[in-house]
Amino acid sequence: MPKRIDINKILVIGAGPIIIGQACEFDYSGTQACKALKEEGYNVILINSNPASIMTDPDTADKIYIEPVTSEIVEKIIEKERPHALLPTLGGQTALNTAMKLAKKGILKKYNVEIIGASEKAIKKAEDRELFRNAMNKIGLKIPKSIFACNINDVEKAAQKIGFPIIIRPSFTLGGTGSGIAYNSDELLDFAKKGLNASLINQIMLEQSVLGWKEYELEVMRDSSGNIVIICSIENLDPMGVHTGDSITVAPAQTLCDKEYQEMRNASIAIMQEIGVDTGGSNVQFAKNPKNGEIIVIEMNPRVSRSSALASKATGFPIAKIAAKLAVGFTLDEIKNDITGKTLACFEPSIDYCVVKIPRFTFEKFSETKDVLSTSMKSVGETMSIGRTFKEALQKGLRSLEIERYGLGADGKDIDIEKISKTDIEKKLVIPNSKRIFYIRYAFKKGMTLKNINELTNIDPWFLWQIKEIVEFEKIIKLKGKNLSYDVLEKAKKLGFSDKQIAHLTLFSEKEIKIKRKKLGIIPVYKLVDTCAGEFKASTPYYYSTYEKECEARISNKKKVIILGGGPNRIGQGIEFDYCCVHASFALKEENIESIMVNSNPETVNCSIWRSNAFKSC
């Protein structure tokens, strides 16, 4: 189906101010979408209140309203502009909620504005717990079991059906009083009594807990013909219980065999169809029981999300741009894959590297907030790293956080593990926190076993083994000390060790290691992110560095300038530096100078390929 000609003016709702859980990734998606719609000749009206965004640049849309993103203001804009359609799926939850309010108030009907992307019905079905539960039941997928109880007898019966641990949630209470997690019947009875008392209608909901299960996400796209493709699978290193935004996540999924992956793929497709998202990108989250492989659907977002931004940068597939084109009627087989220029957007990217996303926290700036991670998001930014091995990507990612760590450890910044007790380490492992990844290393150094660490953290043994390998190799580097051979040095670089770490372990200076390394010819190469694992020639210059044999960087004879990006967002350094980088790149282009962008923040616009001549993820 070609693009729709019955609509011309499209209103795009932006995400508004940056808040925790909704950062510049929606500037990235919104900008991409506006540009894509303009490219297709549509008249794009944009509302967003955030002036630090690329999106609100005069040339992004035909008309831009820098106004609060509320239903009242949007109503006024609709009244004035009379758009034919409203695209709410690219501006995060803010845009989606605003669109739903407008629909509820009857404003869209009044002005005859059509929601494109996801319909009102689909959004409701995905967001309303009860409707979602029914939808999942209908297609035979499981969601956490839950039963209402009004007395202790009911509670006991329900507990048998659900199994421990059980989450207790009293109905109609103020501020969630009386809720908790019970691991045995004594605790359950205790919580249940309190909960029943706390509830205004003496009712509690008992819910199956999937704490500690493995967590996965799939990024899905659908077009108006009903074609569905999976763009990326993501596995969380931190198991269920830590918000995805606060988890270290890895793409693609690492520990699923083909049969398990296909089961999840099939489930995602069925969910997309049942919820009824017409076109665009969605994100489906699953919990998986590591003991028997049982999968449970956690939620589905009928819009592009933070994970979509990550998936786009991780695979090279521009989800938001394609989502915008699908919303106006194009089908996946009518859109070219920008990276290869020859193949189509209708395919599933295959990647030949490992991507690690690590959240950036700022607990030090808020002394009253405890460094404890749970189900509400606390991170303020994130970094993405690409490597040919998980170990390389993990260490690179930790370095990119700009928290003065130069890898997993052995960088002179470790705590003195002689001075810390095993019990203290155990505490840091049991309760998820921003430093847990470093404490896993301390635990191994202290002689704790993989099994032991797995029991305390529920982090999959596969990840723990990878971390252990890094720790073990530290010993080898230390042992070789002054006589670092080519093999050891090369291997160290392949495992993601920085010169600073190697220097710390060998008592050389960082500079000495660098000189020695270069003398031996151990230098990074640049590999392409090409969506297809090398099967087709790629035309866009999107690179990552790694220690391999062949370098694919195409170096031109043009004058060129490197622009260093801002890295992960943090308090005091956010989206505005993305804005600056993008404009620097534009200015250089005007002067016919090639710009090479270096950055590690997957949420940004400057990381997207069309903005600069080359982009290198660090």
- Which residues, listed in sequence order, are joined to residue 236 by a DSSP beta bridge? 249
432: preceding bond cis by omega (within 30 degrees): no
* Residue range at the interface with other proteins (CB under 8 A); choices 14-22, 183-191, 257-265, 369-377: 257-265
2 binds other proteins (CB under 8 A): no
Q: How far is the CB of 506 from other proteins (least distance, A)?
A: 23
Q: How far apart are CA 75 and CA 48, in angstroms?
A: 14
Q: How far apart are CA 459 and CA 429, in angstroms?
A: 10
Locus of tokens 């939850």: 93
Structure tokens, 308:
């979509």
Task: Say if residues 37 and 328 touch (Cβ distance below 8 Å).
Answer: yes
The residue type at 149: A
Distances (CA, A) of 387 to 74, 251, 523: 44, 11, 14
424 binds other proteins (CB under 8 A): no
Q: Which of 164, 261, 438, 586 binds other proteins (CB under 8 A)?
A: 261
Q: How many Å is the Cα radius of gyration of the chain?
A: 25
Task: Say if residues 123 and 96 touch (Cβ distance below 8 Å).
Answer: yes
185 binds other proteins (CB under 8 A): no
Q: Which of 112, 197, 266, 449 binds other proteins (CB under 8 A)?
A: 266
Task: Restricting to residues 288-307, name those near other proteins by CB under 8 A.
Answer: 290-293
Residue closer to other proteins, measured from CB, 171 or 254: 254
487 binds other proteins (CB under 8 A): no
Residue closer to other proteins, measured from CB, 49 or 546: 546
* Residue range at the interface with other proteins (CB under 8 A); choices 174-182, 384-392, 400-408, 512-520: 384-392
314 binds other proteins (CB under 8 A): no
* Residue range at the interface with other proteins (CB under 8 A); choices 76-84, 188-196, 423-431, 455-463: 455-463
Q: Which of 527, 570, 611, 616 binds other proteins (CB under 8 A)?
A: 527
287 binds other proteins (CB under 8 A): no
Structure tokens, 19:
């808040």
Q: Which of 2, 257, 557, 572 binds other proteins (CB under 8 A)?
A: 257
Residue closer to other proteins, measured from CB, 98 or 545: 545
310 binds other proteins (CB under 8 A): no
Q: How far apart are CA 488 and CA 99, in angstroms?
A: 57
Residues 6 or more apart from 419 whose CB is under 8 A from it? Answer: none
Task: Say if residues 277 and 122 touch (Cβ distance below 8 Å).
Answer: yes
Q: How far is the CB of 382 from other proteins (least distance, A)?
A: 22
Closest among 237, 330, 340, 245 to 283, alpha carbons compared: 245
Q: How far apart are CA 565 and CA 579, in angstroms?
A: 10
Task: Say if residues 10 and 116 touch (Cβ distance below 8 Å).
Answer: yes
Q: Which of 532, 588, 609, 614 binds other proteins (CB under 8 A)?
A: 532
Number of residues lying near other proteins (CB under 8 A): 52
Q: Which of 26, 65, 191, 390 binds other proteins (CB under 8 A)?
A: 390
Q: Which of 78, 256, 356, 502 binds other proteins (CB under 8 A)?
A: 256
144 binds other proteins (CB under 8 A): no
Task: Restricting to residues 323-382, name those near other proteins by CB under 8 A.
Answer: 332-333, 342-344, 346-354
Each residue 210-249 as x (binds other proteins by CB under 8 A) or -, in order, gives ---------------xxx-x--------------------
Q: How far apart are CA 76 and CA 191, in angstroms?
A: 49
Q: How far is the CB of 534 from other proteins (least distance, A)?
A: 4
Q: How far apart are CA 246 and CA 256, in angstroms?
A: 22
482 binds other proteins (CB under 8 A): no
End-to-end CA distance of the chain: 40
Residue closer to other proteins, measured from CB, 95 or 231: 231
481 binds other proteins (CB under 8 A): no
Residue closer to other proteins, measured from CB, 120 or 469: 469
91 binds other proteins (CB under 8 A): no
Q: How far is the CB of 131 from other proteins (least distance, A)?
A: 27
Each residue 548-567 as x (binds other proteins by CB under 8 A) or -, in order, gives xxx-x---------------
Q: What are phi and psi of 65, to 5 degrees?
A: -110, 115
479 binds other proteins (CB under 8 A): no
Q: How far is the CB of 125 from other proteins (least distance, A)?
A: 23
519 binds other proteins (CB under 8 A): no
Q: Are strands 9-13 and 43-47 parallel, antiparallel or unpaired?
A: parallel
Burial level of 490, CB count in 10 A (0-12/13-18/19+)?
Answer: middle
Alpha helices in 276-348 (DSSP H): 306-315, 319-327
Q: How far apart are CA 358 and CA 394, in angstroms?
A: 8
Q: To 5 degrees, how large is the angle CA 550–CA 554–CA 557? A: 140
Structure tokens, 110:
């009044």
460 binds other proteins (CB under 8 A): yes
Q: Are strands 594-599 and 560-564 parallel, antiparallel or unpaired?
A: parallel
Q: Which of 202, 255, 452, 539 binds other proteins (CB under 8 A)?
A: 255
Residue closer to other proteins, measured from CB, 72 or 294: 294
Residues 6 or more apart from 93 whose CB is under 8 A from it? Answer: 22, 303
273 binds other proteins (CB under 8 A): no
Q: How far is the CB of 258 from other proteins (least distance, A)?
A: 4
Q: How far is the CB of 338 from other proteins (least distance, A)?
A: 15
Q: How far apart are CA 228 and CA 380, in angstroms?
A: 32
284 binds other proteins (CB under 8 A): no
485 binds other proteins (CB under 8 A): no
Locus of tokens 């209140």: 49
Structure tokens, 206:
């008992």
Residue closer to other proteins, measured from CB, 202 or 255: 255
Task: Say if residues 380 and 569 touch (Cβ distance below 8 Å).
Answer: yes
| Residue numbers at the binding site for other proteins (CB under 8 A) | 225-227, 229, 252, 254-262, 265-266, 290-293, 332-333, 342-344, 346-354, 388-390, 460-462, 465, 527, 532-537, 548-550, 552
